[in-house]
C-alpha cells in the first residue's frame, strides 16, 4: 500500500485528484451499503437511487466551485463553461431540489420514520465523505507537501502506535477499541512528531512538492514550478537557553514549514485517532467487523481512511488561518481573463481610489 502511495505521488497531481475521487466514491458506497443491508428487508423505494443521485449533485456543486476558482481563465475562454460557471449555484440547487422532491414522492405510509432515517443517513455520509475529499483536493492545490505530509503523519502514527502498543502496551486507552493502549498512543505521538520534522525537511527542498499546483493556460496542463516562498527557505533559529547544554547548539537551521509540521503531526497523533474511534463505534453499533472486504486483511477503504478525513479538515482550516495570503498571480490571471472594457473599468476605479488616498502623483 505504501509502494502504491509513492507511485501515485510520482504520477502527479492529476492522478492524485482522480484517486481521491475514486476513494470518495468507494467510501460512500461502503457506508450506504451498510444502511441498505440493515434495512433492505423493508423494501424502501428509490433509497439507493436517491443516495447516488445526491452524491452526484454534491460533487457537481463542489467540483464546479473548484473548477471556477482554479481554472478561471479556461472557464472564461469557453462560452458553454462561462454560462455553467455563471449559473453554477442555481443549477446545483435545482438538481438538489429535484432529488428532494423525488424523496418526498417516494414516501410510503408504513415506513415514514425509517425513510427519514435513511434520508439523514445519506446526508451525514455526504457531509463526512464528500466535503472532506473536496478539502483534500483544495489542500493539494496549495502544494503537494500539504497533501503528502499530513497523510504520511497519519500513516506513521498508525504504524508506530501499533508497534509501541504491541511491545510495551499495558494500559487500555478507550473501551471502543480494547486493543488500543496509552503506551501506543504516547509512543505514536513522539514518533510522528519526529517523522514529520524529518519528512518536512526532505520535501521542503524540492519545488515539485512546495509549489502550488496551478493550471497553465498556454500548455493546458498543471504546473508545479515557482520561486519557493519563505516557508520553504532555510532560516536560522535560536535554540532556547535551557536546551543549550542538552543539544550543544545555540542556533539551528531549519525550514519554517518544519515548525508547522509539528502542529500537523500533533493533530495527526492526538486528534486523528478519534476518527478511528468514531469508526469503531459506528461498526459496533451495527455489529460489523469492517466496512467492507475490499483490501484483504484490512477491511474496506473506509477502514483505512477513517482518520484521514479529520486530518483533511484540520489542514484546510490551518492553511486558511495561518498560511494563506493574497495570491497576486491568481488575481492577475483573473484580471487578464476579463474583457478589455471590464479591465479598463477596474483600472479607472483603482486610479480614482489611489488619487483619493495619495493625490494625483500616486494615481
Together in a domain, 28 and 148? yes
- Euclidean distance between CA atoms 148 and 129, whole angstroms: 19
Q: So what's the pLDDT on residue 88?
A: 92
Together in a domain, 210 and 126? yes
Confidence of residue 325 (pLDDT cuts 50, 70, 90): low
Q: So what's the pLDDT on residue 242?
A: 80
Residue 97 counted as domain residue? no
Together in a domain, 116 and 143? yes
Q: So what's the pLDDT on residue 192?
A: 97
Together in a domain, 250 and 347? no
- Which residue would you say has higher pLDDT here, 346 or 117? 117
From residue 280, alpha-carbon distances to 132, 176, 275, 288, 358 in Å are 19, 6, 9, 9, 62
- Euclidean distance between CA atoms 205 and 126, whole angstroms: 37
Cβ contact 73:337 at 8 Å: yes
Residue 71: closest CA among 208, 226, 229, 221: 221
Q: So what's the pLDDT on residue 274?
A: 92
Q: So what's the pLDDT on residue 213?
A: 83
Asked if the model's pLDDT at residue 73 lies above 80, the reply is no
* CB-based burial label for 97 (10 Å; 0-12, 13-18, 19+): exposed
Residue 84 counted as domain residue? no
Residue 90: closest CA among 113, 111, 64: 64
Together in a domain, 208 and 333? no
Together in a domain, 317 and 333? no
Mean pLDDT of the chain: 86
Task: Taking residues 299-305, report their average pLDDT.
Answer: 86
Cβ contact 38:49 at 8 Å: no
Q: Residue 145 corresponds to which cell in the numbers above?
A: 507537501
- Euclidean distance between CA atoms 144 and 152, whole angstroms: 12
Asked if the model's pLDDT at residue 220 lies above 80, the reply is no
Residue 133 counted as domain residue? yes
Confidence of residue 177 (pLDDT cuts 50, 70, 90): confident
Residue 210 counted as domain residue? yes
Together in a domain, 23 and 35? yes
Tell me: the pLDDT tens digits for 313-322?
999 999 999 9
Together in a domain, 176 and 156? yes
Q: So what's the pLDDT on residue 27?
A: 92
Q: So what's the pLDDT on residue 331?
A: 58
Q: So what's the pLDDT on residue 90?
A: 96
Together in a domain, 247 and 349? no
Q: So what's the pLDDT on residue 315?
A: 95
Together in a domain, 137 and 38? yes
Together in a domain, 218 and 350? no
Sign of CA dihedral 277, 278, 279, 284: positive
Asked if the model's pLDDT at residue 363 lies above 60, the reply is no
What share of the chain has pLDDT > 70, as a percent? 92
CA geometry: angle at 276 spanning 275 and 282, to 5°? 90
pTM for the whole structure: 0.83
Together in a domain, 344 and 262? no
Residue 56 CA, distance from chain mean position: 19
Strand partners, 215: 222
Task: Taking residues 264-277, report their average pLDDT.
Answer: 93
Which residue is associated with the grid cell 543539544? Answer: 247
Asked if the model's pLDDT at residue 165 lies above 90, the reply is yes
Task: Taking residues 266-288, report their average pLDDT.
Answer: 90
Residue 260 counted as domain residue? yes
Confidence of residue 300 (pLDDT cuts 50, 70, 90): confident
Question: How many helices (H) and strands (E) would you count in the chain?
Answer: 16, 6
Confidence of residue 248 (pLDDT cuts 50, 70, 90): confident
CA geometry: angle at 238 spanning 232 and 240, to 5°? 125
List all residues 6 or more positions away from 314 whose beta carbon is below 8 Å from its beta carbon: 150, 264, 267, 271
DSSP label at 337? T
Segment among 44-58, 81-95, 238-252 with least mean pLDDT: 238-252
Tell me: the pLDDT tens digits for 33-64?
888 877 765 677 788 889 999 999 999 999 98
Domain total in the chain: 2
Q: So what's the pLDDT on residue 329?
A: 52
**Could you list the residue range(s) of the whole structural domain that residue 337 is in?**
328-357
Residue 22 counted as domain residue? yes
Is residue 223 left, alpha or beta, with left meaning phi > 0 and alpha meaning psi from -120 to 50?
A: beta
Q: Residue 294 corresponds to which cell in the numbers above?
A: 475490499
Confidence of residue 337 (pLDDT cuts 50, 70, 90): low
Asked if the model's pLDDT at residue 243 lies above 90, the reply is no
DSSP result, 27-86? HHHHHHHHHHHHHGGG--TTHHHHHHHHHHHHHHHHHHHHHHHHSHHHHHHSHHHHHHHH
Amino acid at each position: 500500500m505504501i509502494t502504491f502511495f509513492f507511485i501515485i505521488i510520482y504520477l502527479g497531481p492529476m492522478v492524485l485528484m482522480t484517486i481521491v475521487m475514486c476513494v470518495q466514491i468507494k467510501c460512500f458506497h461502503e457506508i450506504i451499503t451498510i444502511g441498505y443491508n440493515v434495512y433492505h428487508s423493508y423494501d424502501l423505494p428509490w433509497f439507493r437511487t436517491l443516495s447516488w443521485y445526491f452524491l452526484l449533485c454534491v460533487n457537481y456543486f463542489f467540483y464546479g466551485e473548484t473548477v471556477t476558482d482554479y481554472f478561471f481563465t479556461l472557464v472564461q475562454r469557453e462560452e458553454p463553461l462561462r454560462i455553467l460557471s455563471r449559473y453554477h449555484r442555481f443549477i446545483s440547487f435545482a438538481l438538489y431540489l429535484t432529488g428532494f422532491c423525488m424523496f418526498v414522492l417516494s414516501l410510503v405510509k408504513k415506513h415514514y420514520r425509517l425513510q427519514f432515517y435513511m434520508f439523514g443517513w445519506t446526508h451525514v455520509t455526504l457531509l463526512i465523505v464528500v466535503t472532506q475529499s473536496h478539502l483534500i483536493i483544495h489542500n493539494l492545490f496549495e502544494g503537494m507537501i500539504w497533501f503528502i505530509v499530513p497523510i504520511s503523519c497519519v500513516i506513521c502514527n498508525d504504524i508506530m502506535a501499533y508497534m509501541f502498543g504491541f511491545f510495551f502496551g499495558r494500559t487500555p486507552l478507550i473501551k471502543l477499541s480494547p486493543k488500543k493502549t496509552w503506551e501506543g498512543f504516547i509512543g505514536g505521538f513522539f514518533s510522528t512528531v519526529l517523522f514529520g520534522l524529518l519528512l518536512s525537511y526532505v520535501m521542503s527542498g524540492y519545488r515539485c512538492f512546495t509549489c502550488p499546483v496551478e493550471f497553465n493556460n498556454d500548455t493546458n496542463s498543471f504546473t508545479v514550478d515557482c520561486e519557493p516562498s519563505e516557508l520553504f527557505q532555510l532560516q536560522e533559529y535560536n535554540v532556547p537557553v535551557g536546551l543549550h547544554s542538552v543539544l550543544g547548539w545555540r542556533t539551528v537551521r531549519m525550514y519554517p514549514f518544519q515548525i508547522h509540521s509539528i502542529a500537523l503531526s500533533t493533530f495527526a497523533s492526538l486528534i486523528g485517532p478519534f476518527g478511528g474511534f468514531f469508526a469503531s463505534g459506528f461498526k459496533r453499533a451495527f455489529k460489523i467487523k469492517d466496512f467492507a472486504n475490499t483490501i484483504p486483511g484490512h477491511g474496506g477503504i473506509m477502514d483505512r481512511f477513517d482518520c484521514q478525513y479529520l486530518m483533511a479538515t484540520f489542514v484546510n482550516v490551518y492553511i486558511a488561518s495561518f498560511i494563506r495570503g493574497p495570491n497576486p498571480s491568481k488575481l492577475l490571471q483573473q484580471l487578464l481573463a476579463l474583457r478589455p472594457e471590464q479591465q479598463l473599468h477596474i483600472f479607472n476605479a483603482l486610479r480614482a481610489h489611489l488619487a483619493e488616498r495619495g493625490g494625483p502623483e500616486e494615481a
